[in-house]
A and B are shown apart, each in its own frame.
Chain A
Amino acid sequence: MGKLDGFREFKRETAKKRLVKDRIKDSKELFVKFPVEKLRKQGARCMECGVPFCNWGCPLGNLIPDWNDMVYKEKWEKAYNRLTLTNNFPEFTGRICPAPCEGSCTLGVNRDPVAIKEIELNIIEKAFEQGWTKPVAPKVRTGKKVAVVGSGPAGLAAAAELNSVGHDVTVFERDDEIGGLLRYGIPDFKLGKDIVERRVNFMASEGVKFKTNVNVGVNYSAKSLLSDFDAVALTGGSTIPRDLKVEGRTLKGVHFAMDYLKQQNRRVSGKEVEVEEINAKDKVVLVLGGGDTGSDCIGTAIRQGAKSVYQYEIMPKPPVDRDDTMPWPSYPRTLKTTTSHEEGCNRDWNVTTRKFTGEDGSVNTLHGSKVEWKSNEKGGQQMVEIPGSEFELKVDLVILAMGFLHPQHEGLLLDLGLDFDNRGNVIVDDNSMTKLKGVFAAGDMKRGQSLVVWAICEGRSVTKNIDKYLMGETSLRG
């Protein structure tokens, strides 16, 4: 317990954001640094519960009460050690994790939760700043070679862990940069690419080998992969986006979010965009899908100079506060107003798309209608269109941000002959091993689309199995 009565004495507080008018002019990070004194007070608010629900809410099992207390007591280096015991990349989760830990913080029962994410971020940034994050090469090399296919957060976590116990790790990435969604999925204003590069360089200096532009199954055969390595971790993510099968879908100006975001990320990094440009400048933009990716598209569109931005979601508008459907400590699926929303956006819920129409092959109108959700006899929810609620919206650009279905099957996965579950994800056994001996899968590829924190968790836990497979035992915590 940081301070006995800290939770009563201090209010929740998090870092301030730059003003909207300033921040939409660039792609830099949104938040200003949070003062240490304030951070300590947040640490002091932690009640160090006998049953810390934050620790449960966090997929990684971050030892949150421990480092909350250490920050309060200004034991930063200890806090860093304790934090990295469970989390390889706090600089990522500290920025982009939706913080399920805070949703389950016990203070949330009667008050606002501890600013856990803020504390996490500050611990790791302080560690980089102070140079505590020295690369540690393993004492011995096992001589075992492991391939990690896919360099998103799951792959990176797996690579870091496997390298730490002495395996010779090679990470394959089909894109030209390491990082997967971290690199090309998430806009810079949420996660600066220097942050990703810092970590990649760090890992490289610890001995991890990175191979970009290698699309296993295309320009490097699955067969070679199996023969070149003693074990393989498949961490390619869930990359096939959910499509909208309506009339007018093929009109120009209707795009998948990931195509849109990737372009912009390349642009910000000063790279060429080799495909057809998608740009929101002076356009009326409609984002379909109310999730984080949708938000990222909104922020991106605004920065590109969109005339106006709309966001439609098929599900009902979530309540502002917790209700009985999401009691503490479950994740509060309340109405989220992201930084992108603050920057200017018209949102609506219970909207379904009937069709798109356009002129000259380009989209210019959305034909939608309102829906309501009714319980059916199976206990599920059923969508019913409200008669007479049809409407039209003039649009120039439509971004589909409705989530992802499953990993890409063509190429590597089919070449390896792996099995898929009914959602299209790779089937593994209790040890995360696919039907092929020595071939493991983890992350979204295995569990379906999810959060970065889950990807890191997956990447960590698969390494325990890989290490055990290779060595017969493991000291990894997973």
Chain B
Amino acid sequence: MNNSIGYPEKQGLYDPAFEKDNCGVGFVANIRGEKTNGIVKKGLKVLVNLTHRGAVGADPKTGDGAGILVQIPDEFFRISCDNLGLELPRTGKYAVGMIFLPKEPALRFQCEGIIERIAEEEGQKILGWRSVPTDNRNIGDTAKGTEPIIRQLFIGSTFKDVDLTDDELQEEFERRLYVIRKRSEKEVVKLVDRNTEYFYICSLSSRTIVYKGLLLAEQIKGFYVDLQDINFKSALCLVHQRYSTNTFPTWDLAQPFRYLAHNGEINTIRGNRNWMNAREGVLKSKVYGENLKKLFPIISPNGSDSASLDNILELLKMDGRSLPHSMMMLIPEVWMTNDGMEDYKKAFYEYHGSLIEPWDGPAVVAFTDGIRIGATLDRNGLRPARYVITKDGFVVLASEAGVLQFKPEDIEKKGKLQPGKMFLIDTNEGRIITDEEVKKKICTDKPYGEMISKNKLYLDDFDAVIDEVKIDKYILKERQQAFGYTLEDLKIILAPMAKDGKEPIGSMGNDTPLAVLSNEPQLLFAYFKQLFAQVTNPPIDPIREKMVMSLMNYLGSQDNVLNQDLNDNPFIEINRPILTNLELAKIKNLKDNAFKTTTIPITFKADTGIEGFKDALDKLCARTSARIKEGYNIIVLSDKSVDSYDAAIPSLLALSAVQQHLTREKTRTSVSIIVETGEARETMHFALLIGYGATGVNPYLALKSIDNIISEGDIENISVEKAHENYINAISQGLLKILSKMGISTIQSYHGAQIFDAVGLSSDLLEKHFGGTPSRIGGIGLDTIAKEVLIRHKNAFNKLRKPIAELEVGGKYSWRKDGEYHLFNPDTIFKLQVAARTNDYKLYKEYSKIINDQDKHLCTIRGLFELNYGNEIPLEKVEPISEIVKRFCSGAMSYGSISKEAHETMAIAMNRLGGKSNTGEGGEDAERFKVDENGDLRRSAIKQIASARFGVTTEYLVNADELQIKIAQGAKPGEGGQLPGKKVNSTIARLRHSTPGIDLISPPPHHDIYSIEDLAQLIHDLKSVNPRARISTKLVSELGVGTIAAGVVKAHSDAIVISGHDGGTGASPLSSIKHAGLPWELGLAETQQVLLLNNLRSRVTVQTDGQLKTGRDVVIAALLGAEEFGFATTGLVVLGCTMLRNCHLNTCDMGIATQDPELRKNFKGKPEYVVNFFTFIAMEIREHMAKLGFRTMNEMVGRVDKISQKKAIEHWKAKDLDLSNILYKPDMPKRIKRYCVIAQDHGLDNSLDFKLIEMAKTSLEEGKRSTSNLEIENVNRSVGAMLSGRIAMKYGAAGLPDDTITINFVGAAGQSFGAFGANGLTLKLVGDANDYVGKGLSGAKIIVKTPENCTFKQDENFIAGNTILYGATSGKLFINGLVGERFAVRNSGAQAVVEGIGDHGCEYMTGGIVVIIGRTGRNFAAGMSGGIAYVIDEDGTLKSRCNMEMIEVESVTSEPDSLELYSIIKEHFETTNSHKAAKILDNWDKYKLKFKKVIPTAYKAILEGK
């Protein structure tokens, strides 16, 4: 339970624990430490200029929180306190506590009393209190409602020691203040009986103070009267503007915290907190000694991820490490795969890596201790941070450029923080310390390298022999049966992995029952679902960006993280968590002083039954504790002893029970746990074992099964060793994928981080044994788990009567008569197809009855519901079919994944109905925008914008009624995709702006959505291009999706799609189809509840999809809160799909999921069938509506009171479920509407483009040339987008002739400058630009130019941000300065010149020409399958920074190439007056040789006609 001020209680599916926040962050500082009021003013100005990075909720005057951190304004306090009659000692000798207190006087007095007492108990002197003057007239109602009393406490230092310097004494004082604060927090919770959430210490320090609150940026200054005082002075000012995903922001969670402000999200937070709690058992501090315990718990229980990071940073800092040192431990750079990194740095990271796992996730962290101020960026560089240093010693760093205006001639340097780098100012030393210098000093402070070379061991350093017992295939079969192996496991999972070293791929969605609803016993693994990143946080591409990923972890006891003496203990590094038999044998053999391994069986006597099972679990925990006391530090949990007497405890349960037990005991960090199990075989199984605490897993039975597959000849021409290696590689890649979809880079951080939720397990079980993994609908406990084990065990070992010849068939992946149930089975497919073809409603009802009545075959959550009929009305009173069908959409299926015939038939049908079809990710042929002769329209109303932006041109965008941003897809949320070159025919290539035959890769994230404020920006871009279109955001149901949805509404999405986990796919790893995401019932209900609680529901239309098949499904969805409904798979079945599930093979014999011209001829679908089907659905809906008494669909939306859980569910597992959380309806006043009634305010009114359109009027209307001049600021976003939309509307893809409209800007452009710029538009900017310049460029020319009067060198300064030219299809871009990360990602046709770029340049590029006349960052050209980059390579190191997997790097030798390059650079010079270009052109013969041509191998072959 979260104790923050203002959060609602946990209720229904809402849990405050899911709150997420992203933000704008920045600081200003005077390098020389000169304190002025001007710094504070500038800080506040930065804050105001970052306003668009924050958000407002339903109450427009309540922000999500903002604040500033400054040095103690001694002068100001001295005067203020003097007025109060309060005498302050000299500066540094007193501390100020900024404290939020309850309004109720008695409670407040008690809180004040507690902290006073503790301060005195800690030997310090209470000087007095000051009420902080505030003015709440302008703050929002929500903020006012939760506003605390804010008071400052002055504490005097009593430290005196002649041997110590003033600084040292102040440090002692700070350390004691930390104790006072921690103790006070704890005691208030303990002693005060209510409203303790109103007690919060923002800061308590003799150096710094935090002013913050539930305020908008612009309100801070007015609210805190202090800040307006001219005596309020500081040399530094750290600011933060919060954007939380929901509107339950709170006073205390506003930032900055005591040491930092964070823009980002810590994905591994659960693990980091757990490990930190576990670590408390071994913490020893030289500084604090016995007092250390007073600081526990180190991580305050109610904080956000950022608050927790602040907690640990504070501990490390107070214990004596410097802030930069501590930051480097917590957010390390990429070091393992970084060949260019100095050895001393690698040693530092490796040494500290063995002490603490990274806190992983996107992050800009700005930090200060009051003397030094700095910022650091995560290893991926997933948050922007730009800075300016002026010649008079002033620095501003912020999420955006242009937050403060400077004269060009005053600027010393413009820079940006690069991935993993640190920027630091020491105001005592009065200088900026470079990343290199600060880190070198820290890294060489102690001989970390020596320690590493002495103590780091590998398994290769040890010997062992495998004590393998040969077992015959019948015994093997027994074991397989005991662990629930099926024929499918062998054929579909193990064999392909062993053969090809890759995870198996499948297609179509999952329509089998949830584990808890299956009639068959399930492995415990099956009850868990993977979490994944969406919106607030990007998934990573583990293939193209594997440089940031790592599977390395350490074995052995983890040392005291606080011990500042060097830890001189050996540790073993393992490079991946899947252990071969030999590796495990080596580990089991460890018996020396440093490593002692013990193996503990995880079995129980089968004949002792359920009670025996529970006993064994308890004993297991006790045994582990005993072993640890005996000095063992590696524990192998093994089920290898399974036989007819001993049955296996599910390995995940055994492991997690031990993990939780040891964490509670605080001994967990003294041991490593290895699991030796016959159970694990799929990627998901390993992910779970590692995610719940295993360092390594040995899948002995999977390996043995592979041996048998080989010996039976089912895979051929492969050695056992190679097959094992393949299998382990496949699993390893799969693990990377699972990590990356959550945005996590290292297994060390994933280890124990519990990135899962459970469906169908009881909360008692999860609380006790799974560290509080959330479960929303309850479910089975230990008894049923034991029962499932015993069924399998008996099946395996009860062999006297008829030995079972074969394993069970399975039927999870393919339907089988005796296998697992599928909703789409021959009966339902058959009936549905015939009904739709022959317009036979009666037959349709037979079909829907099979789907709806799940009494014999439970499959879905909705199958457990019943409708509460009553107040029946006549059918004719219900709104007509024609109204209902408008709410139907067909699923997003790209032309590419399905054939032209299927795609267009679907579009025609939806247009006939008045519903909406969806382009999917693949563009749409412009010929479809016109009405056909027979009146049919083949245009899709919904145009999808997916991560690869294939076919997303300005013309495409303006030809849409709805623009859908696909954040995730049910079948593989958090993953990208790849359309193999052989499927890319000329039409597909044309629509996707690529070349036939080259691979088309979709990245896992949208590279312009790394955070919620980024999504807001993309929505703003799209709305600007096409203001008539509704913008929708497609999310996938998962734990906390309601919170994300709230953020999306605040980002001004007009609609939200909540997709179920079971949605279809053309190709996806089976482990993703089966194990990621949740059913839509959960996500939709959560979304509805959270949006209602926030009063955001009325601003957005909610749609749901995922295996919707019948009218009843729609009714349930509507009652749970959906207004619109998507159908994909079912529509395809209507058009002839028989679920071959071969979509990924291009062999669809029904002519649907294929591009083969011959097979396409087999397509037999007709629009009528689809029309019939949707009419049937509407008819069925109307029947239910009449019985429920609803006349309109709107009346029905959100009426969960009309659903109840079926009584008397006899099912052995489902009977334990409790669906009341799904059916929860928050008590809200009637005026808070359950469905969309209010249009979003997109704030387009202030758009600069209205001015541009006005100025370009004659050009737009008559094609005349025009030129205009304008000033621009960073708050002017998406400039040019709306104008371009107008051009595309009128002139189509061709646009206007080049340079028809020229606009000259001066200043700093906001984000998305020139986004979707159309042909004929030329935008010239003198100044600088932020992120996403030229996003989706569609023919326009963009020039960003350094001012002529600046004194810094053009090619050494950053003048534009990250992710420039993302998804551009044509046009030109010239920038005469440096730009950030991910330049020209997914460019498919634009031409560009820049003078230097950050990491990941030209990633996934498929076309166009990029010229870089300066330095490029790392991982250049990763996944680049088309286009050309000419890159200057002055020091000959380019190749080492390229990702060489798809490309070649060659000299520019051919004359045409050379001419082309010369003319492009010439154009750059002419448009920007680039000094570097001039130099190159002047010395062309010399420079020509320095250029390298980067070209994809396959693309080159195609160009050369091979």
Which residues of A are in contact with B by a Cβ distance under 8 Å?
1, 4-5, 7-8, 47-53, 55-58, 61, 63, 65-66, 75, 78, 81-82, 84-85, 104, 106-107, 109-111, 138-140, 142, 164-166, 324, 327, 329-330, 471, 475-477
Interface centre among B801, B814, B822, B824 (most CB of A within 10 A): B801
Question: Chain A interface: which of B248-256, B1028-1036, B1137-1145, B1350-1358?
Answer: B1137-1145
- The 7 A-B pairs at the shortest CB distance, nearest first, are namely A50-B1141, A61-B817, A56-B826, A51-B1139, A51-B815, A165-B802, A165-B801
User: In the complex, which residues of chain B have a beta carbon less than 8 angstroms from the beta carbon of A109?
Assistant: 1136, 1138, 1149-1150, 1162
B807-845 vs A, CB cutoff 8 Å, 1 = contact: the mask equals 001000111111000101111011001100110000000
CB of A140 within 8 A of CB of B800, answer: yes
A142 CB contact (under 8 Å) in B712, B801, B822, B1150: B801
CB of A475 within 8 A of CB of B801, answer: yes
CB of B826 within 8 A of CB of A329, answer: yes
B1140 CB contact (under 8 Å) in A8, A66, A106, A329: A106
B1268-1293 vs A, CB cutoff 8 Å, 1 = contact: the mask equals 00000000000000000000000000
| CB proximity of A478 to chain B, nearest CB, Å | 8
CB of B802 within 8 A of CB of A164, answer: yes
- Say whether chain A's binding surface is mostly helix, strand, loop, or mixed: loop
A106 CB contact (under 8 Å) in B809, B818, B1149: B1149
- Interface assignment of B59: CB less than 8 Å from any CB of chain A: no
CB of B806 within 8 A of CB of A51, answer: no
CB of A51 within 8 A of CB of B801, answer: no
Q: Which residue from chain B places its CB closest to the CB of A475 in the assembled complex?
A: B802
- Interface assignment of B1158: CB less than 8 Å from any CB of chain A: yes
CB of B824 within 8 A of CB of A7, answer: no
Interface centre among B803, B826, B833, B1150 (most CB of A within 10 A): B826
User: In the complex, which residues of chain A have a beta carbon less than 8 angstroms from the beta carbon of B508?
Assistant: 50
In the docked arrangement, what's the CA distance between A61 and B809, Å?
11
CB of B825 within 8 A of CB of A166, answer: no
In the docked arrangement, what's the CA distance between A1 and B825, Å?
19
In the docked arrangement, what's the CA distance between A142 and B800, Å?
10
CB of B1149 within 8 A of CB of A329, answer: no
Interface CB pairs A-B, < 8 A, 16: A1-B1142, A5-B1147, A7-B1147, A48-B1142, A49-B1141, A51-B822, A51-B825, A53-B1138, A58-B817, A65-B814, A75-B712, A75-B713, A85-B806, A109-B1138, A140-B800, A165-B801
Which residues of B are in contact with A by a Cβ distance under 8 Å?
487, 507-508, 712-714, 795, 798-806, 809, 813-818, 822, 824-827, 829-830, 833-834, 837-838, 1136, 1138-1142, 1145, 1147, 1149-1150, 1158-1159, 1162
In the docked arrangement, what's the CA distance between A386 and B117, Å?
112
| CB proximity of A283 to chain B, nearest CB, Å | 46
CB of A52 within 8 A of CB of B1149, answer: no
CB of A8 within 8 A of CB of B826, answer: no
In the docked arrangement, what's the CA distance between A271 and B103, Å?
109
User: In the complex, which residues of chain B have a beta carbon less than 8 angstroms from the beta carbon of A111?
Assistant: 1149
CB of B804 within 8 A of CB of A7, answer: no
| CB proximity of B1134 to chain A, nearest CB, Å | 14
CB of A329 within 8 A of CB of B1139, answer: no
CB of A477 within 8 A of CB of B818, answer: yes
CB of B1150 within 8 A of CB of A66, answer: no
| CB proximity of B1387 to chain A, nearest CB, Å | 34
CB of A327 within 8 A of CB of B1149, answer: no
| CB proximity of B145 to chain A, nearest CB, Å | 55
CB of B818 within 8 A of CB of A51, answer: no
CB of B1138 within 8 A of CB of A139, answer: no
Question: In the complex where A4-B1145, A109-B1138, A109-B1149 touch, is A475 in contact with B798 (Cβ < 8 A)?
Answer: yes
In the docked arrangement, what's the CA distance between A204 and B838, Å?
53
Q: Told that A49-B814, A139-B803, A475-B801 touch, could you supply 8 new A-B pairs with CB distance under 8 A? A: A47-B1147, A48-B1142, A50-B507, A50-B1141, A51-B1139, A75-B713, A140-B800, A164-B802
User: In the complex, which residues of chain A have a beta carbon less than 8 angstroms from the beta carbon of B1149?
Assistant: 7, 47, 106-107, 109-111
In the docked arrangement, what's the CA distance between A75 and B715, Å?
12
CB of A139 within 8 A of CB of B800, answer: yes
User: In the complex, which residues of chain B have a beta carbon less than 8 angstroms from the beta carbon of A7?
Assistant: 1147, 1149
Q: Which residue from chain A places its CB closest to the CB of B825 in the assembled complex?
A: A51
Question: In the complex where A7-B1149, A61-B816, A61-B818 touch, is A50 in contact with B712 (Cβ < 8 A)?
Answer: no
In the docked arrangement, what's the CA distance between A330 and B712, Å?
37
CB of B838 within 8 A of CB of A50, answer: no
In the docked arrangement, what's the CA distance between A366 and B1192, Å?
67
B814 CB contact (under 8 Å) in A52, A75, A104, A475: A52
| CB proximity of A312 to chain B, nearest CB, Å | 32
Task: Count A-B contacts at CB 8 Å.
Answer: 119
In the docked arrangement, what's the CA distance between A47 and B817, Å?
17
B826 CB contact (under 8 Å) in A82, A104, A138, A475: A104
CB of B818 within 8 A of CB of A53, answer: no
Q: Which residue from chain A places its CB closest to the CB of B830 in the assembled complex?
A: A329
CB of A47 within 8 A of CB of B834, answer: no
| CB proximity of A23 to chain B, nearest CB, Å | 36
A56 CB contact (under 8 Å) in B813, B825, B1136: B825
CB of B1138 within 8 A of CB of A106, answer: yes
| CB proximity of B244 to chain A, nearest CB, Å | 43
| CB proximity of A49 to chain B, nearest CB, Å | 5
User: In the complex, which residues of chain A have a beta carbon less than 8 angstroms from the beta carbon of B1139?
Assistant: 49-51
| CB proximity of B476 to chain A, nearest CB, Å | 15
A51 CB contact (under 8 Å) in B804, B826, B1147: B826
Q: Which residue from chain B places its CB closest to the CB of A70 in the assembled complex?
A: B714
Question: In the complex where A5-B1147, A107-B1149 touch, is A47 in contact with B825 (Cβ < 8 A)?
Answer: no
In the docked arrangement, what's the CA distance between A111 and B1151, Å?
13
In the docked arrangement, what's the CA distance between A330 and B829, Å?
12
CB of A139 within 8 A of CB of B805, answer: no
A140 CB contact (under 8 Å) in B801, B837, B1138, B1141: B801
| CB proximity of B1270 to chain A, nearest CB, Å | 58
Question: In the complex where A104-B826, A166-B801, A324-B838 touch, is A49 in contact with B1138 (Cβ < 8 A)?
Answer: yes
A50 CB contact (under 8 Å) in B799, B1142, B1158: B1142
In the docked arrangement, what's the CA distance between A47 and B829, Å?
17
CB of A50 within 8 A of CB of B798, answer: no
User: In the complex, which residues of chain B have a beta carbon less than 8 angstroms from the beta carbon of A1?
Assistant: 1142, 1145
Question: In the complex where A48-B814, A56-B826, A324-B838 touch, is A85 in contact with B801 (Cβ < 8 A)?
Answer: no
In the docked arrangement, what's the CA distance between A336 and B818, Å?
31
In the docked arrangement, what's the CA distance between A109 and B1136, Å?
9
In the docked arrangement, what's the CA distance between A52 and B806, Å?
20
B829 CB contact (under 8 Å) in A51, A65, A139, A166: A51
CB of B1147 within 8 A of CB of A85, answer: no
In the docked arrangement, what's the CA distance between A277 and B817, Å?
47
Q: Which residue from chain A places its CB closest to the CB of B815 in the assembled complex?
A: A51
CB of B801 within 8 A of CB of A330, answer: no
User: In the complex, which residues of chain B have a beta carbon less than 8 angstroms from the beta carbon of A47?
Assistant: 1140, 1142, 1147, 1149
User: In the complex, which residues of chain B have a beta carbon less than 8 angstroms from the beta carbon of A52?
Assistant: 814-816
User: In the complex, which residues of chain A have a beta carbon less than 8 angstroms from the beta carbon of B712?
Assistant: 75, 78
User: In the complex, which residues of chain B have a beta carbon less than 8 angstroms from the beta carbon of A78?
Assistant: 712
User: In the complex, which residues of chain B have a beta carbon less than 8 angstroms from the beta carbon of A48?
Assistant: 814, 1142
User: In the complex, which residues of chain B have a beta carbon less than 8 angstroms from the beta carbon of A142?
Assistant: 801
CB of A82 within 8 A of CB of B806, answer: yes
B815 CB contact (under 8 Å) in A8, A50, A57, A66: A50
CB of B1140 within 8 A of CB of A56, answer: no
In the docked arrangement, what's the CA distance between A106 and B1148, Å?
11
Q: Which residue from chain B places its CB closest to the CB of A82 in the assembled complex?
A: B806
In the docked arrangement, what's the CA distance between A166 and B815, Å?
32
Interface centre among B795, B818, B833, B1136 (most CB of A within 10 A): B818
User: In the complex, which residues of chain A have a beta carbon less than 8 angstroms from the beta carbon of B825?
Assistant: 51, 56
CB of B1138 within 8 A of CB of A55, answer: no
In the docked arrangement, what's the CA distance between A476 and B795, Å?
11
User: In the complex, which residues of chain B have a beta carbon less than 8 angstroms from the beta carbon of A139?
Assistant: 799-801, 803
CB of B816 within 8 A of CB of A55, answer: yes
In the docked arrangement, what's the CA distance between A241 and B1370, Å?
80
In the docked arrangement, what's the CA distance between A4 and B1146, Å?
10
In the docked arrangement, what's the CA distance between A142 and B802, Å?
11
In the docked arrangement, what's the CA distance between A142 and B795, Å?
18
